[in-house]
Structure 1
Amino acid sequence: MSVWQRPLRQLLSAVQNITSRFKSNSLKGFVSLFLLGVLFSVTLAACTGSNENSSPTQSPAASQKQDVEVTLVSFAVTKAAHEAIIPKFVEKWKQEHNQNVTFKQSYGGSGSQTRAVIDGLAADVVHLALSGDTEKIEKAGLIQPGWQKEFPNNGIVSKSVAAIITRAGNPKGIKTWADLTKENLKLITADPKTSGVAKWNFLALWNSVIKTGGDDAKATEFVTNVYKNVPILAKDAREATDAFAKQGQGDVLINYENEVVLAQQKGEKVDYVVPDVNISIDNPIALVDKNVDKHGNREVAEAFVKFLYTPEAQQEFVKLGFRPVDESVAKSKEVVDKFPAVKTLGTVDDFGGWSAVDQKFFADGGIFDQIQAKIKR
């Protein structure tokens, strides 16, 4: 018998003796019973409270929130950056909320990742190569409209520009986009009908004409002459890079600047040019609303996305060759020294956004198909 059970039983016995002396319909009996009830309640609370305070053991889980899991789906070239950033966020969240966060991560081509999410990959956060892919997930009903306004910079969390990679010593003397129309030059790039990177490559070429005073007719003529120098269109950016770097095909390759920087960091010697008329390759991030609500992890997923915009996280993107979206980081000496200046920078919004771009350039029968029909391979 516990230390509080004995006096409690004694109290119950006294109550029974007293109540038997009063009739329930007498005023005196009613008042007496009421006072005894109050005394009994106070005594019981004191006894049981004493028992809780004196409990010798307590489950560790009682003082710790339930663990939470977040699934991040991103395009391939962000993997190294996220693997550096995620442990920093996990540690910060643990310190501030006493809760463990684990991440499931999936990386691959932006287009294939988009299709996987639409087909059922339960992503909580998507970080993709272009807003057009995020918009496809929105149209599938998984992301609520207005996702661009939920986070800074219209949802753009990382960015790059287009670069022209040459053979060692740049034997073809490539300096600008216009040089890609030279005779006896072979350009390696992917097919924009199947590759997100290749869409950016195409826009970089088109933008170089529009931003220097040309119209659609001149841009079409120029881009047609460039693609005449493409011996075969690779399926995706990785295949194009392998054809150039591993198989020795072609004289030049168009790729993301961050891919070039990463290759250099791995010890590869890469010669490249960043034309001073360029396109801002903007990579958006968004919560997959349907999934975070189903998983009940919106608070953590949202906090993670916001963390990616902090100078601490942006520095990790910079290390991997991405240009920062944080202004304080962008103005740092490290960034200014690391990235060549771009004189004229276009954006996809200059061309009406991705829906308009896809319809005009990459839909069946669009400008890209028209250009391909003109080329004799």
Structure 2
Amino acid sequence: MWWDRSNREAGPGRRFPGSRIVLAVLVIAFLSFMVWQGRRMRWESGPRTVTVYCFSAMEDAMTDGVLPAFQEFWKGKTGQHVEFITAFAGSGTITDQIIRRFPAEIAVLSSEIDAYRLVRRGVLPGPVWTTLPERGVFARTPMVIRVRPGNPKGIAGFDDLARPDVGLLLADPTTSGAGEWTALALYGSAFLEEGDRARGLDRLVRVWGRGAEGGSSARVARSRFSEGSADALITYEAEILGRAGSGGANGEIVMPRSTIVAEPVVVKIGRNVSPEQKDLIDSLVSYFWSDEAQQILVAYGFRSVDKERNVPDAGFRPIDRLFTLEEIGGPERAEEEVLGEALRLDAASTAAD
């Protein structure tokens, strides 16, 4: 439960005279003015800073692509230099950190599921990201299967991952957005075939029950796969097409006939944004939908929200049935029914060990 100052009591007989309250307000106002003045002076003589927390699979695209490009854009627009304080981890991990009051001004989360957690925990007043273009979605990437070069196990789709001769890595859904999207891909690809939720849960149980724990994020799972663990890994398409994922040693893509498309969202953490930062924060968030940023994201393996950019020359292959989170019930239902089942399976597996 969040700390509520209204629950604190002054204690028997304690009083707060009006003159003291006025004095306290004046002192706070003066100190706030001095902090603002100091920050403004630093801007005039040095760089401005933005704190960005981002899910791990987008680390390369952000640190080597989008953020440096925005630095140039902002310098040309204002003459100011901007620097970034960044943190990259599984989407669930950075969501937990923000709930614990880590100072992110902008959060790039793997899905609306984590964004709604921030609403439920009082970090955000509501689904503020939905007022942005594309409801806060600025890139897309389908969930696909990574296999060894040449696909020696002959894996053709999700059902093959339940075979006893196939070793499978799964990212942890409690900390990783990739883990969440993996569970949703398994469930939704079967559910949408006949509109039967029982069939979706059956595929989830059969495949998830065989997977080995792949780590706290998509990036950790990718590293373990590259080191030789398992025969297959369900992950973001961008993790394979991106610059860090390229190369024969990292395996190749098996495109399921039906799979979910992950839709990362950008969220402004308003309680951490001071009034004097608002122009910079708003400009960076808007920049994510710019032509330049969209071109950079494609270069790093993410599909653009502008479908005309998602061409085969960029490495994007067609998928027979590409579905969204909304098509399988939306964030709340998916979290309760599908991710809840995945967590139950994880708990049962841990108990068995």
Residue number in structure 1 paired with 2:320: 343
- Shift of the 296–266 alpha-carbon distance from structure 1 to 2, 3 Å rule, reads farther
Residue number in structure 1 paired with 2:235: 255
Aligned length: 308
Matched residues, percent identical?
Answer: 27
User: Which digits, 9 at most, give the CA deviation of each residue in 1:343-370, with x for residues without a partner?
Assistant: 211111123322221111234xx46526
Task: Describe the SS at the equivalent of 2:73.
Answer: helix
Task: Describe the SS at the equivalent of 2:138.
Answer: strand
Distance 1:304 1:283 in 2: 16
Query: Which aligned pairs between 1:47-196 and structure 2 lie closer than 5 A?
Result: 68-83=48-63, 84-196=65-177
Task: Describe the SS at the equivalent of 1:127.
Answer: strand
Give the Å deviation of 1:282. 0.8
- Shift of the 297–190 alpha-carbon distance from structure 1 to 2, 3 Å rule, reads same
Question: Which residue of the other structure, out of 337, 344, 352, is the alignment partner of 1:369?
Answer: 344
User: Which digits, 9 at most, give the CA deviation of each residue in 1:163-211, with x for residues without a partner?
Assistant: 1111221111111222223342222213324432111111111111122
User: Which digits, 9 at most, give the CA deviation of each residue in 1:25-46, with x for residues without a partner?
Assistant: xxxxxxxxxxxxxxxxxxxxxx
Distance 1:270 1:225 in 2: 24
- Shift of the 194–165 alpha-carbon distance from structure 1 to 2, 3 Å rule, reads same
Distance 2:45 2:306 in 1: 32
- Shift of the 371–139 alpha-carbon distance from structure 1 to 2, 3 Å rule, reads closer
Give the Å deviation of 1:373. 4.7
Distance 1:295 1:66 in 2: 19
Structure 1 gap segments, 5+ residues each: 1-60
Task: Describe the SS at the equivalent of 1:212.
Answer: helix
Partner amino acid for 1:112?
T
- Shift of the 290–243 alpha-carbon distance from structure 1 to 2, 3 Å rule, reads same
Distance 1:117 1:147 in 2: 16
Partner amino acid for 1:197?
A
Q: Which has the larger radius of gyration?
A: 1
Structure 2 gap segments, 5+ residues each: 1-40
- Shift of the 369–326 alpha-carbon distance from structure 1 to 2, 3 Å rule, reads same
Contact 1:162 1:279 in 2 (8 A): yes
Task: Describe the SS at the equivalent of 1:105.
Answer: strand
Contact 1:142 1:291 in 2 (8 A): no
- Shift of the 151–91 alpha-carbon distance from structure 1 to 2, 3 Å rule, reads same
Q: Does 1:319 align with 2:261?
A: no
Give the Å deviation of 1:316. 1.1
Question: Which residue of the other structure, out of 264, 271, 287, is the alignment partner of 2:268?
Answer: 287
Q: Does 1:297 align with 2:297?
A: no
Task: Describe the SS at the equivalent of 1:158.
Answer: coil
Give the Å deviation of 1:121. 1.6
Residue number in structure 1 paired with 2:199: 218
- Shift of the 296–135 alpha-carbon distance from structure 1 to 2, 3 Å rule, reads farther
Residue number in structure 1 paired with 2:256: 275
Residue number in structure 1 paired with 2:335: 358
Contact 1:181 1:229 in 2 (8 A): yes
Q: TM-score under structure 1 normalisation? A: 0.74
Distance 2:120 2:277 in 1: 22
Residue number in structure 2 paired with 1:43: none
Give the Å deviation of 1:239. 4.2
Distance 1:278 1:95 in 2: 41
Give the Å deviation of 1:243. 3.5
Distance 2:174 2:66 in 1: 32
Contact 1:144 1:289 in 2 (8 A): no
Q: TM-score under structure 2 normalisation? A: 0.78
User: Which digits, 9 at most, give the CA deviation of each residue in 1:87-138, with x for residues without a partner?
Assistant: 2222222222333322222212211111111212211111011212122223
Structure with higher RCO (Cα < 8 A, 6+ apart): 2
Distance 2:141 2:125 in 1: 26
- Shift of the 82–120 alpha-carbon distance from structure 1 to 2, 3 Å rule, reads same
Aligned residues: CA RMSD: 2.7
Distance 2:346 2:121 in 1: 31
Residue number in structure 1 paired with 2:29: none
Contact 1:74 1:110 in 2 (8 A): yes
Task: Describe the SS at the equivalent of 2:229.
Answer: coil
Query: Which aligned pairs between 1:4-43 and structure 2 lie closer than 5 A?
Result: none
